[in-house]
């Protein structure tokens, strides 16, 4: 069934995905002579770099999310449709979605990335991940639920499993999450749960490569590792997780760690849409594109952001899957589409690496910027300022700033509410069986 949409008086651009690249492209295209139809499975854009703060009670979900319709209010020729795109029919220039089909003149795939479990897909239901707001809330809920359960434990082995945290992947997400949980262990949790001994709580950070923050400079990596170790995080380098059954994590070095708080941040792969030739799907499940972000072999289909594999000078295996790449590609693609619509030749995309940064905790961060590496309070202040300015909407910036100021001066994370009880797959069946036995 066709999706109701006004007949365009200009070229129609269908954009799949309201992430960093999608909204940058949409905003730039609306200043051109195009009709833009934006698809996303959610009606909001999320600021993914701060998911870990929602997961650890530092922020509420609505402070890092913003309605997509509100971003482009009062903009003519813009239409948002909430639904999941199932496949592309490139022969008929049409997409098929959960809400119907729609024709396009130009199609842009900006679907981002999803988790890569590196062979542990069969265990993914036992793991927590950090790729959405709901997953962030799941982490927050499970951590707090397990501390509540630990209060009732009489066996030390069970209590240990409920309190220990294992994080797999020492990229920015894993490092920032480990630092935030370590700060909670020191300042917040002992006040909330005085009956528990948090000196017994272990935080493990596993990384297959030789250092944390492997995509940043070695100096930044060393600083980050020192900060984490000083905070009591147990870093396991060149060590992979080989199995996890919901209670016991096994590593490639033979270690076995009892934990019910297992968080996977180890890798991502492109979230592709069906319908493109399989030979265009390259390393990392990403779509091969040319220097104009055009999908190879097509004139009117483009891909940007994490889902696009674009070989670039200095990046023989493709540009990194980070927000700045998607944002720059979105702005550039708007210019490219405008030039194509005018019959002009577009210019190739050139990525400008403005640096990278990660925060580990209070007054602790690392930043590779201005061709130098910074650490400590200065890097932390830069990280905080840039992240606040990148948020959409004055309200979100104000709320995040107030929350951070409160946490800074009080050493407290105020949002420790179990709003949605996390239910691990399989647990519900065991609960029903127990209930039937009790009420027999």
Radius of gyration of the chain (CA): 23
Note whether residue 1 is domain-resident. no
**pLDDT above 80 (res 109):** yes
Structural domains counted in the chain: 2
- Of 265, 309, 266, the residue nearest 287 (C-alpha): 309
| Judgement on whether residues 260 and 172 belong to the same structural domain of the protein | yes
| Judgement on whether residues 22 and 157 belong to the same structural domain of the protein | no
Residues 82-103: pLDDT tens digits? 999 999 999 999 999 999 999 9
**pLDDT above 80 (res 344):** yes
| Judgement on whether residues 143 and 182 belong to the same structural domain of the protein | yes
Q: What is the DSSP string of 237-270?
A: ET--EEEE-SSEEEETTS-EEE-SEEEE-S-EEE
| Judgement on whether residues 16 and 108 belong to the same structural domain of the protein | yes
| Judgement on whether residues 251 and 280 belong to the same structural domain of the protein | no
- Decide the pairing of beta strands 11-16 and 34-40: parallel
Residues 13-55: pLDDT tens digits? 999 999 999 999 999 998 888 999 999 999 999 999 999 999 9
Residue 30's CB is within 10 A of a number of other CB atoms, namely 18
| Judgement on whether residues 221 and 255 belong to the same structural domain of the protein | yes
CATH number of residue 198's parent domain: 3.50.50.100
Note whether residue 62 is domain-resident. no
**pLDDT above 60 (res 237):** yes
d(CA 272, CA 288): 11
**SS3 assignment for 118-163:** CCCHHHHHHCEECCCHHHHHHHHHHHHHHHHHHHHCCCHHHHHHHH
| Cβ atoms of 415 and 59 closer than 8 Å | yes
| Judgement on whether residues 104 and 248 belong to the same structural domain of the protein | no
> 206: Cβ–Cβ under 8 A, 6 or more apart, which residues?
166, 167, 168, 169, 170, 236, 239, 240, 241, 251, 266
- What angle separates helix 172-183 from helix 218-230, to the nearest 10 degrees? 20
Q: How many helices (H) and strands (E) does the chain have?
A: 12, 26
Q: Domain of 183?
A: 121-266+362-410
| Judgement on whether residues 259 and 401 belong to the same structural domain of the protein | yes
Position 4 scores a pLDDT of 78
| Judgement on whether residues 315 and 383 belong to the same structural domain of the protein | no
Question: Where is pLDDT greater, at 409 or 349?
Answer: 349
Cα of 6 vs its chain's centroid, Å:
34
Task: Tell me which residue has tokens 């006040």.
Answer: 191
Whole-structure pTM value: 0.92
- Of 114, 135, 140, the residue nearest 56 (C-alpha): 140
CATH number of residue 320's parent domain: 3.50.50.60
């Amino acid at each position: 069934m066709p999706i109701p949409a006004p007949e365009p008086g200009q070229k129609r651009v269908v954009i799949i995905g309201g992430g960093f690249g999608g909204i940058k492209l949409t905003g730039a295209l609306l200043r051109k002579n195009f009709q833009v139809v934006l698809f996303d499975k959610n009606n909001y854009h999320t600021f993914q770099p701060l998911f870990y703060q929602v997961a650890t009670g530092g922020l509420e979900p609505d402070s890092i999310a913003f309605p997509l319709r509100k971003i482009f209010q009062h903009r003519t020729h813009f239409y948002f449709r909430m639904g999941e795109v199932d496949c592309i029919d490139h022969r008929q220039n049409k997409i098929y979605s959960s809400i119907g089909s729609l024709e396009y003149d130009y199609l842009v795939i900006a679907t981002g990335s999803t988790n890569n479990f590196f062979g542990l897909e069969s265990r993914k239901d036992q793991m927590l991940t950090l790729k959405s707001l709901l997953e962030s809330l799941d982490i927050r809920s499970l951590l707090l639920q397990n501390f509540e359960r630990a209060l009732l434990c009489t066996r030390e082995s069970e209590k240990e499993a409920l309190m220990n945290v294992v994080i797999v992947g020492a990229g920015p997400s894993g490092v920032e999450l480990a630092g935030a949980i370590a700060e909670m262990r020191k300042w917040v949790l002992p006040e909330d749960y005085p009956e528990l001994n948090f000196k017994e709580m272990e935080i493990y950070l596993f990384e297959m490569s030789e250092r944390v923050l492997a995509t940043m400079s070695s100096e930044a990596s060393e600083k980050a590792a020192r900060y984490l170790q000083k905070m009591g995080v147990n870093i396991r380098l060149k060590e992979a997780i080989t199995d996890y059954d919901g209670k016991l994590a096994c590593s490639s070095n033979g270690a076995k760690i009892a934990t019910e708080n297992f968080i996977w941040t180890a890798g991502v792969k492109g979230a592709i849409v069906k319908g493109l030739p399989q030979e265009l799907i390259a390393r990392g499940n990403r779509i091969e594109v040319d220097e104009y972000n055009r999908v190879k072999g097509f004139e009117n289909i483009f891909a940007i952001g994490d889902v696009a594999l674009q070989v670039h000078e200095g990046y023989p295996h493709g540009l990194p899957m980070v927000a700045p790449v998607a944002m720059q590609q979105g702005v550039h693609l708007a210019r490219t589409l405008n030039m194509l619509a005018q019959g002009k030749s577009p210019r190739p995309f050139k990525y400008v690496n403005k640096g990278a940064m990660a925060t580990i905790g209070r007054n602790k961060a690392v930043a590779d910027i201005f061709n130098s590496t910074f650490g400590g309070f200065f890097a932390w202040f830069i990280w905080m300022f840039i992240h606040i300015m990148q948020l959409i909407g004055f309200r979100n910036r104000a709320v995040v700033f107030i929350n951070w100021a409160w946490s800074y001066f009080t050493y407290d994370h105020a949002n420790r509410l179990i709003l949605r009880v996390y239910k691990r797959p399989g647990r519900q069946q065991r609960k029903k069986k127990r209930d039937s036995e009790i009420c027999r």
